[in-house]
Amino acid sequence: MTAPSGFQATRAHAEARDGADRLAGFRERFFLPPGRTRATAIYFCGNSLGLQPKGVRELIDEELEDWARHAVLGHLEARRPWLPYHEQLTNDTALLAGAEAAEVVNMNTLTVNLHLMMVSFYRPTRERYCIVIEKGAFPSDRYAVVSHLGHHGYSAAQALIEIAPRAGEHCVRHEDIEALLARDGPRIALVLLPGVQYRTGQSFDIARITRAAQAAGARVGFDLAHAVGNVELRMHEWGADFACWCTYKYLNAGPGSIGGCFVHSRHAQSRELPRFAGWWGHHKGRRFLMEPDYELLSGAEGWQISNPPILSMTPLVVSLAMFREAGLAPLLEKSRALTGFLEFLVRSRLAEQVESVTPSAPTERGSQLSLRLRSGAQSGKHVFAALEQRDVVVDWREPDIIRVAPVPLYNTFVEVWEFVEALAASLEG
């Protein structure tokens, strides 16, 4: 069977795709988890935690050696001086975010950054006080939003607006977002949506949503945790006020690693936006004068509070270098091919038992298919457990989703083929 895309439902086709893959060599630069029944597990969980690049240990050892050798002088004399350490990440981060260098900074962790951004961009008034999120948002995002509502004296029942898919559908329609903003715009202070929805894998049209939110008079921000390093981003051009993300998923920077933040350049020198301040957001040349007065840094760096955690940033140095070397365009091309091949195989072989709730259009998703068993959640959990026994690492999201994410830096077309074989066998019991 051959699809219009040129896919064929054979292992030989998968092997041929791998043989022609210009990015194949990057797989050898990662530690692949061992399997019980095979040399390495099929790891399709990079949307939850990316694999460890092999170069990380060497760089962390260098930082430990510099700490041992230089102690406090390492801030200036380490091989990668600690004082400006985060600056070596800026250009590559800006490239992935589609931003100007001054619009991005690596700091804190995702939810901390969301809190800091809402301090600045959620400024409710008597008339305009609501926040829009998607129904079924990632829990940490919802918790953060509801806590800011409460901080300003509002309950979720009063001020939280959740946009949901239509009955019988899995993904939110952009025209429904636009209609909501047109209807309720006068009472909306902030729109906070994901770049890619974690459960369904739907990629949102950030430019379209931003235009609609701004036309309604609202601020607009995005959680890019499942988008950065996964889909094309042009944050400066699209004009959102802010965005935040983590780096431990597609960016492979390790569990709990440093987060990232985008603030549009139109806010670069704003003195009107309130923010929580700390000495790393203060004038770089005056930090150590120990003055009581605060001189705000321009750009996204002005939202920094504390000095950067060096050992948390080090893995990102390695990972971003690989993204730069591979090139975002080839990675996106392979991502679409891997995910397209996966969808083709599932539909051609297992359509009666499994459905994908992820959009089929490549422009409306990244490296993820969210699969649901037609027989229900209990069967899904059974199949998920059976996949684990077959050395397949995917993840389960309540109530009934198996998320499958073939990542272009280290996954192969043969692994996609073998995953579908394992899924078919698991369905048989």
- At residue 429, the pLDDT reads 72
Residue 87 DSSP symbol = G
Residue 369 DSSP symbol = E
Give CA–CA dist 91/348, Å, rounded. 42
Using CA atoms, how far residue 147 sits from 119, 259, 429, in Å, is: 11, 20, 45
**Which domains are assigned to the chain?**
11-54+327-428 (3.90.1150.10), 84-323 (3.40.640.10)
Annotate 68-77 with b (16+ C-beta within 10 A) or e (fewer).
eebeeebeee
- At residue 299, the pLDDT reads 95
One pLDDT digit (tens) per residue for the chain, 429 residues: 445 578 999 999 999 999 999 999 999 999 999 999 999 999 999 999 999 999 999 999 999 999 999 999 999 999 999 999 999 999 999 999 999 999 999 999 999 999 999 999 999 999 999 999 999 999 999 999 999 999 999 999 999 999 999 999 999 999 999 999 999 999 999 999 999 999 999 999 999 999 999 999 999 999 999 999 999 999 999 999 999 999 999 999 999 999 999 999 999 888 889 999 999 999 998 988 999 999 999 999 999 999 999 999 999 999 999 999 999 999 999 999 999 999 999 999 999 999 999 999 999 999 999 999 998 878 899 999 999 999 999 999 999 999 999 999 999 999 999 999 999 999 987
- At residue 128, the pLDDT reads 98
Torsion of the alpha carbons at 260, 264, 265 and 267, rounded to the nearest 10? -110
> Who contacts 362 (Cβ-Cβ below 8 Å, separation ≥6)?
336, 339, 340
- At residue 195, the pLDDT reads 98
- At residue 3, the pLDDT reads 52
Give CA–CA dist 408/101, Å, rounded. 26
- At residue 2, the pLDDT reads 45
Which residue in this structure is represented by tokens 């003195």? 271
- At residue 1, the pLDDT reads 42
Residue 162's Cβ-count burial label (10 Å; 0-12, 13-18, 19+) is middle
Q: Are 252 and 96 in contact (CB under 8 A)?
A: no
Residue 63's Cβ-count burial label (10 Å; 0-12, 13-18, 19+) is buried
Provide the 10 A C-beta neighbour count for residue 5.
12
Q: What letter represents residue 380's amino acid?
A: G
